[in-house]
């Protein structure tokens, strides 16, 4: 089954910034989406590089949960960019 880019972006529009309540797409926090076979990689950043860790993880987990609902997606890799705790966040999101 081919993963449709538009379906992935539709799911990303459902992810809300918990602090402001707006879509991460509307807030332009998604840096990129790559689809390779059944794997989707989503790169994102936060409104500020010192955004609280719970917010950063919540957004990353919501990205994974919602994008996983797209037909044909077997794995979602979520990567945060430009945060003071980038390594810690990405390690947590990878587990």
pLDDT tens digits along 57-93: 999 999 999 999 999 999 999 999 999 999 999 999 9
Rounded to two decimals, the pTM is: 0.93
pLDDT class for 19, splitting at 50, 70, 90?
confident
Q: What is the mean pLDDT of residues 12-17?
A: 97
- Give the residue numbers spanning the domain of 36: 5-94
* CA–CA distance, 45 with 89 (Å, rounded to integer): 11
* CA–CA distance, 60 with 15 (Å, rounded to integer): 9
Q: Is the pLDDT confidence value at 34 over 90?
A: yes
Q: Is the pLDDT confidence value at 30 over 70?
A: yes
CATH number at residue 60: 3.30.300.130
- The sign one gets for the Cα dihedral 13, 91, 38, 66 is negative
């Amino acid at each position: 089954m081919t993963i449709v880019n538009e379906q992935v972006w539709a799911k990303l529009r459902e992810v809300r910034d918990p602090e402001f309540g707006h879509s991460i797409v509307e807030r332009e926090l998604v840096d990129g989406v790559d689809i390779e076979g059944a794997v989707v990689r989503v790169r994102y950043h936060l409104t500020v590089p010192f955004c609280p860790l719970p917010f950063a993880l919540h957004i990353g987990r919501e990205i994974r949960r919602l994008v996983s609902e797209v037909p044909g997606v077997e794995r979602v890799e979520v990567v945060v960019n430009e945060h003071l705790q980038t390594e810690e966040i990405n390690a947590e999101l990878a587990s």
